[in-house]
């Protein structure tokens, strides 16, 4: 391959990879907005807003399909290796998590408008507060995870992984409050089960944000840490920060 041709090929690959990254970030912005809309619809009982979340789910799925197809095409055409291949794999995995976050937003929207078209009862003030608080926490994790991915910042990624422990603690605290309400009035049990489903969806948003942060570590360090213990990753991150 001549030097001119090789340079052209490398530039073309960089453009293609940049396109995948841009698609990931665009999809991330859409998914962030979907979760925020769903939680706002739940807290306010805004049926129209909830339906807009359900309608825009098709856009989330379209991003998932397009980026997946583009990733496969890029691998087939360029046959990347090493860090280049890790970048494409990491983007594809992150897109899969974003699609699942979109599914969680859809579930929350369905808590406002049931699948049979019937409107749900208005959530309790406590559930509305808990949902808004957990959503704010989970969405901050997702924003930071996407930013760490864009900047390939392993330190920021470890911080996102650490914050998932805090979100889990918030989820458990919210469950205890719901259980207390049911113990005081067993007639609240059906509403509590719906509330648990909503809070669980927000807890899963944090899980997917954590996954995206783990892909950053795979991208930067070349080590697959999807199944490594969270406490170990946090300790390693703290040690590296101290040494730098």
Per-residue pLDDT of 203-237, as tens digits, reads 999 999 999 999 999 998 887 777 777 776 777 76
Contacts 24+ apart (CB under 8 A), 19-25: 19/70, 20/67, 20/70, 20/71, 20/74, 20/88, 20/91, 21/91, 21/150, 23/63, 23/66, 23/67, 23/70, 23/95, 24/67, 24/91, 24/94, 24/95, 24/98, 24/146, 24/149, 25/146, 25/150
C-alpha dihedral (158, 160, 161, 165), degrees to nearest 10? 130
Q: What CATH number is attached to the domain comprising 138?
A: 1.20.58.220
CB atoms within 10 A of CB 240: 13
Write down the pTM of the prediction.
0.88
> When comparing pLDDT for 239 and 1, which is higher?
239
How far is the CA of 226 from the CAs of 81, 210, 233, in angstroms?
Answer: 21, 9, 10
Query: For residues 68 and 128, what is the distance between their CA atoms, to the nearest angstrom?
Result: 36
Say if residue 120's pLDDT is above 60: no
Instruction: Note down the domain range covering 37.
Output: 3-243
Question: What would the two tokens of residue 124 be?
Answer: 């309790």
Q: Sign (positive/negative) of CA torsion 191, 193, 195, 197?
A: negative
Quote the CA–CA distance of 109 and 180 in Å, as a whole number.
Answer: 25
CB 88 within 8 A of CB 162: no
Number of domains making up the chain: 1
Say whether pLDDT at 239 is over 70.
no
Alpha-carbon 104 to chain mean position: 9
Indicate the SS3 state at residue 113.
strand
What is the tens place of the pLDDT at every residue in 39-83? 999 999 899 999 999 999 999 999 999 999 999 999 999 888 888
In this prediction, residue 11 carries a pLDDT of 75
Interatomic CA distance for residues 38 and 204, integer angstroms = 15
* Cβ–Cβ < 8 Å for 233, 225: yes
* Maximum alpha-carbon separation in the chain: 78
Average pLDDT for 116-142: 82
What's the average model confidence in pLDDT over 12-25?
92
């Amino acid at each position: 391959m001549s030097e001119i041709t090789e340079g052209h090929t490398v530039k073309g690959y960089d453009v293609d990879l940049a396109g995948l990254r841009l698609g990931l970030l665009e999809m991330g912005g859409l998914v962030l907005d979907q979760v925020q809309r769903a939680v706002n619809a739940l807290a306010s009982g805004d049926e129209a807003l909830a339906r807009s979340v359900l309608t825009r789910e098709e856009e989330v799925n379209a991003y998932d399909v397009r980026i997946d197809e583009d990733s496969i095409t890029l691998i087939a055409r360029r046959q990347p290796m090493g860090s280049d291949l890790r970048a494409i794999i990491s983007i594809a995995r992150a897109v899969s998590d974003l699609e699942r976050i979109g599914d969680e937003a859809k579930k929350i929207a369905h808590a406002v408008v049931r699948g049979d078209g019937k409107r749900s009862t208005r959530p309790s003030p406590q559930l509305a507060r808990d949902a808004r608080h957990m959503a704010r926490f989970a969405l901050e994790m997702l924003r930071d995870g996407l930013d760490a991915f864009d900047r390939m910042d392993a330190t920021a990624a470890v911080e996102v992984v650490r914050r998932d422990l805090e979100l889990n603690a918030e989820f458990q605290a919210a469950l205890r409050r719901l259980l207390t309400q049911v113990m005081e009035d067993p007639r609240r049990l059906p509403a509590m089960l719906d509330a648990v489903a909503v809070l669980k969806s927000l807890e899963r948003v944090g899980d997917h944000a954590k996954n995206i942060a783990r892909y950053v570590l795979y991208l930067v360090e070349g080590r697959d840490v999807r199944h490594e213990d969270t406490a170990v990753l946090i300790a390693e991150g703290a040690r590296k920060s101290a040494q730098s």
